[in-house]
Amino acid sequence: MSAALMDLRFSETEERVVPFPLSGQVSTIRRCASKLESIHGEEALQYWKAECRALAENLRNRGCAEEAIRAQVMAFQTEVQVEMMRRYSDRLAAEA
């Protein structure tokens, strides 16, 4: 580290950015759930893979470890499934 930076008392340890958890990104969860309700089969599978890969790549670009990325994507997938179940339940209740 340069003397000028040391004078400013910058940390010599590596700083880490912790991104907002994917499972808390409600608008992204709702967008994915809505899209998955309107498509099926291979199209749904390809959409879902592309979304999860894009989310993982975004975390990777921010410096997240692979283990943390996997955990975040899995939690996100769970939240999308929960949202889809909630939406389905709401539709059933509205029809009753």
CA–CA gap between residue 3 and residue 63 (Å, rounded) = 27
Integer CA distances (angstroms), 79 to 8, 27, 28, 51, 74, in order: 43, 11, 10, 14, 9
Alpha-carbon distance 26 to 39, whole Å?
Answer: 20
Q: What is the model's pLDDT at position 49?
A: 97
The answer as to whether 7 is a domain residue is no
Task: Classify residue 9: in a domain, yes or no.
Answer: no
Q: Could you tell me the pTM of the whole model?
A: 0.76
> Which segments in the chain show pLDDT lower than 70?
1-19
Q: Which domain holds residue 61?
A: 21-95
Is 56 domain-assigned?
yes
Residues above pLDDT 70, as percent of the chain: 80
Q: 10 Å Cβ neighbour count for 47?
A: 15
Does residue 8 fall inside a structural domain? no
In a domain, 10, yes or no: no
Residues 25-50: pLDDT tens digits? 899 999 999 999 999 999 999 999 99
3-state secondary structure of 19: coil
**Residue 65 maps to a domain:** yes
Domain count, the chain: 1
On whether residue 16 sits in a domain, the answer given is: no
Residue 88 lies in a domain: yes
